[in-house]
Amino acid sequence: MAILNDADATYLREQLATLLTKQVRIRLFTEPATGLYVPGRPTCETCADAEALMNEVADLSDRIYLEIVDVSAHPDLAREAGVALIPTMAVDDGADSGVRFVGLPDGYEFSSFVETLVAAGSEAGHGLSDESLARLESLTTEVEIKTFVTPT
Amino acid sequence: MTAHRLALASPHIRSVSIEAQEYPQVAAAYAVSAVPKMVVNDRVAFLGALPEEAFVDAVLSAVDQGASGDGASQSSGDGGQSPGSQSLE
């Protein structure tokens, strides 16, 4: 059963066809559902939904491509990408931009997710003002911003 | 999301958004009681959906505070509900 309803999918497909001008990569760090219950090992409750949703998103545009990284099979790739929790989605244009979504981007967060795809893959890009860009250029240290969000 | 835009714009910035309800233990570790809550370099926090200029102010200010701090955890603007933030209770 699809997660996105038909009307939403159609609307998004049209929007993305207009707005995306370059390739956007979604790397989904996840764990496949094995159907086995292993006592003491935490299961990723939203990984299956995240995979299904990301597959639907990738289907919305030829410019979106999805790479699924199984963190149990490739812990090195997860470590390199700084991924500790799953599901995590990394969004960029092919080169890591440091953008991560941790947890299923549900409800309101889904529109944030789509906006970020567009920001990564459009001419308008990040949309920051020249002033903001100039101020950010003064940064010499590495900055990590964690943003806690909720679907409602 | 502004934080993600900053990460796309700057090679020095990384941005991670975290679903607080899906990871309640992580949210608790960062004392998240209202969203959105931004935490910069695990040291300085600010609340609420700020407009771009104020957001950049907050991030740069957090970096300044972190760089000159003694390494202990600090929280700014975290005491009460900010306009533009939503309680999780």
| Mean pLDDT value across residues B68-73 | 42
Contact A145 B40 (CB under 8 A): yes
CATH number of the structural domain spanning residue B63: 3.40.30
Name which of A148, A149, A150 to mutate to probe chain B: the one with the most chain B Cβ atoms within 10 A of its Cβ.
A148
Phi, psi angle pair for A31, to nearest 5°: -135, 130
Q: What is the pLDDT of residues A54-87, one digit of tens each?
A: 999 999 999 999 999 999 999 999 999 999 999 9
Contact A136 B4 (CB under 8 A): no
Contact B18, A148 (CB under 8 A): yes
Confidence band, pLDDT 50/70/90 cuts, at residue B80: very low
ipTM: 0.92
Identify the bridge partners of residue B14 per DSSP, sorted by sequence position. A144
Question: What is the rounded end-to-end Cα distance, in angstroms, of chain A?
Answer: 23
Q: Does B31 touch chain A (CB under 8 A)?
A: no
Contact B37 A131 (CB under 8 A): no
Position B68 pLDDT exceeds 90: no
Which chain B residues are within 8 Å of A135, Cβ to Cβ?
A: 56, 60
| Mean pLDDT value across residues A93-111 | 94
Contact B16, A147 (CB under 8 A): yes
Identify the helix (H) or strand (E) that includes residue B38: strand B37-40
Enter the tokens of residue B25: 């233990």
Contact B12 A102 (CB under 8 A): no
Query: With a CB-CB cutoff of 8 Å, which residues 50-69 of chain B face chain A?
Result: 52-53, 56, 59-60, 63, 67
Identify the bridge partners of residue A102 per DSSP, sorted by sequence position. A88, B18
Q: How far is A112 from chain B (nearest CA, A)?
A: 6
Contact B84, B50 (CB under 8 A): yes
Give the three-state DSSP class for A60: coil
| Total domain count, chain B | 1
Query: Between the CA of residue A56 and those of A6, A99, A112, A134, what are the distances in Å?
Result: 11, 20, 16, 37
User: Given B1, B12, B36, which is nearest A143 (Cβ)?
Assistant: B12
Contact A102, B16 (CB under 8 A): yes
Contact A129, B44 (CB under 8 A): no
User: Given A119, A145, A149, which is nearest B19 (Cβ)?
Assistant: A149
Q: Does B73 touch chain A (CB under 8 A)?
A: no
Distance (Å, whole) CA A76 – CA A83? 10
Which chain A residues are within 8 Å of B28, Cβ to Cβ?
A: none
pTM: 0.88
Domain of residue B58, residue span = 2-87
Length of chain B: 89
- The beta strands (E) that lie in chain A are given as 24-30, 64-70, 88-92, 99-102, 143-149
Q: What is the pLDDT of residues A24-49, one digit of tens each?
A: 999 999 998 776 777 777 789 899 99
Which chain B residues are within 8 Å of A45, Cβ to Cβ?
A: 22
For A95-113, the DSSP string reads: S--SEEEES---THHHHHH
Q: Which domains does chain A have, with CATH numbers?
A: 20-33+42-136 (3.40.30.10)
